Structure 1
Amino acid sequence: MQTLTIACIGEAMLEISEDPKDPGHLDRHAAGDALFTALYLARLLKGQARVMFVTQVGDDTQTKTMIESWRQAGLDVSMVHQVPDGMTGRYAVETDEDGSRHCSFWPGSDPFRDFFRNETTLSWLDRLRRVDLLYFSGATLAALHQEGRETLMSLAARVRAADGKVAFDGSFRPGKWEHADIAADWVGQAYKRSDIALPTYDDDSELAILESGGVMLNRFLLMGCSEVVIKREAEPYFVACDGERHIVEAGYLPEMMQTPSTCDSFNAGYLAARLVGWGGRQAALLGHEVADRVNEGGGSFLAPGAISDLRPRDLRALGQHPVDFFQQRP
């Protein structure tokens, strides 16, 4: 079958934090919710999809090393724009004893903010409107200038008009937005332009978007989304897909601290399965499997092959339902 094309748009930053295994040593690595989702999608759909990470970064030495690592991980980086003499955004992380993370951002180092303000990136819009799946998040919107947010909303509408799908995760980051009311407005607009809504209960409830139970699902379906997954940490997830509704138990233990990339990796697992013909419940189960692996690995990007056994079989041309391999696993 024809290779799928996926575009994940978002900010990539350099995270600086103390290595928990080596106190006093600073660990530096790329971070970003759309980036993590893109990386796991590329792993899960190896040979079945071309996954493009779409962003704007600096051209410093560390950034060039990051981009090469993305390429080696299987991402298409042809739409990574480097700003001459620019520096990729950076932030430092301090972690409390209870596991809470506190971020301090370097001022003035946010090249992604002006992503849709140069001829190079604007010239990519025609290619982007023809993708099979466009993925972005509330963090993507928060990082953009208002003009860029408007351009992204227009792109989402064009993707859907061309029979592509749009997936959106509200991913609310209070410190990145001008005001909560502005965030609520843009996040609401994005959901209305999406086919697949992937809200996280705690994030979106802060914006007064979510309520409880089936009311949550109804709200997103009435916005125009054709499928919804409401992520609720260790609580059961709510799924509405293909005219059916499911309550899917999370794999995470209540005492297990979720890592920053838990939701991003879940999204990758869910979307990968849906793109190759799996049903909503099975896709959510695969999302949990991927997120569990990431949690067990401490949240860092897993080594090559770590989730190769979870790659979903492509069922689009077979007219079959996915085998419930979760029931067959020990």
Structure 2
Amino acid sequence: MKTFIVGEAMLEYHSHGGTGLRYGGDTLNTAIHMARRGLDVAYVTAVGTDPVSDALVRAWAEEGIDVTHVHRHPDRSPGIYAIHLDAAGERSFLYWRDASAAREMFALPGMERTLAAAQDCDLVYFSLISLAVIGDAGREALLGLARARKAAGRAVAYDSNYRPRLWPDAGQAQAASLAAAGAATIGLPTNVDERELFADAADEPAIAARWHAAGCDEVIVKAGERGCFHSGPDCAQAFPVAPVRVVDSSGAGDAFNAGYLHARLTGADRDRAIAAGQALAAETLGHLGAIEVGRRRALNPA
């Protein structure tokens, strides 16, 4: 059973301190959670040829991720982001990613091999951040892969994780997200992202309806402390969640996605998969960082 996850991984600086640079990114967080649960996960991205990039690839391999499809850019390096937490555990970000190697991953030698390998795997997963950073040509290539897989009856999961600064304007982001929703079999939006992206106050059923209208088969709308809303071909239901103490909200949605997708890939029904996603999200909310501190290592470039 093989999953291909496409996106941008970055070096991380966190306001809670600690020593050394760490790493993160929405799709990488999901990949690590799924690999830690025993799934065969290939991460598709690009890094540089520098010692820090080497350390990143080593660290991901030690997590159990297949790094065969981590491509190397001769002139670029990973981007960097900083996380600041407020007193309630809510986060804000600063980014330095204009020269990120991941922005040019689809122009690098070897991407045709990656796309061919991803055609026949069990699941392909990506986000709106993935689509933003890879540019027009990369976007068409990734959406083409998703459409071909969906037409062949293979699973595609998509999360509309919206970062306005990555897009020239909201209209382009909306168009890309709706195209991705139409190419996906499983949609994993968050209500806050969707409301910001479409500048509306849509509730979870309305968000799910928008995704279904675009062509997505199954939609799970994450709603923070209110749980989530599942909408499929034959049913629609809200799933509340018990209150949890929030230490750090970073990566909770990424964790839900990982728990849900892992459960579905290993044979769980909808209810058990949602419970697995909620449990992993709650666990993530209870510690600093998107990936558990102490298990995610600081980088040690050779």
Please, what TM-score do these two structures have when normalized by structure 1?
A: 0.83
Which residue of structure 1 lines up, in the alignment, with residue 209 of structure 2? 218
Which structure 1 residue ranges, 4+ long, deviate > 4 Å from structure 2? Answer: 96-100, 303-306
Q: How does 1:163-174 map to 2 (within 5 A)?
A: 163-174=153-164
After TM superposition, give the deviation of residue 303 of structure 1 in Å. 6.9
Unmatched segments (≥5 aa) in structure 1: 307-330
Matches within 5 A, 1:172-187: 172-187=162-177
| Structure 1 counterpart SS, 2:106 | coil
Aligned to 2:299: none
- Cα deviations across residues 187-232 of structure 1 (Å, max 9, x unaligned)? 1110010000000000011122772253333332232222110001
**1:241, CA displacement in angstroms?**
3.6
Q: Which runs of 5+ in 2 are unaligned?
A: 297-302
**SS class of match (2:147):** helix
Larger CA Rg, structure 1 vs 2? 1
5 Å matches for 1:1-330?
A: 4-18=1-15, 20=16, 27-44=20-37, 46=38, 49-97=39-87, 99-106=89-96, 108-208=98-198, 211-241=202-232, 243-253=234-244, 256=246, 258-302=248-292
- Stretch deviating more after TM superposition (130-139 or 275-284): 275-284
Give CA deviations for 1:75-103 in whole Å, capped at 9, x if unaligned: 11100001124321112334445545443
Alpha-carbon distance in structure 2 between the residues aligned to 1:198 and 1:259: 17
Q: Which has the higher helix share?
A: 2
> Which amino acid in the other structure matches residue 210 of structure 2?
R
**SS of residue matched to 2:224:** coil
RMSD between superposed Cα atoms in Å: 2.3
**Residue 29 of structure 1: how far off its partner (Å):** 0.8
Q: Distance in 2 between matches of 1:247 and 1:129?
A: 33
Which one scores higher on RCO, CA 8 angstroms, separation ≥ 6? 2
Aligned residues of 1:262 and 1:299 also touching (Cα < 8 A): no
Number of residue-to-residue matches in the alignment: 295
Name which of structure 1's ranges 60-69 and 97-106 shifts more when overlaid on structure 2.
97-106
1:261-319 alpha-carbon deviations (Å, 9 max, x no partner): 1000100000111112212122111101111111212234237999xxxxxxxxxxxxx
Q: What TM-score, normalized to structure 2?
A: 0.90
Distance of 1:280 and 1:210 partners within structure 2? 27
* Cα distance, 1:27–1:296 mapped onto 2, change above 3 Å: farther
Counterparts in 2 of 1:50 and 1:216: CA distance versus 1, 3 Å = same
> Amino acid of the residue matched to residue 13 of structure 1?
M
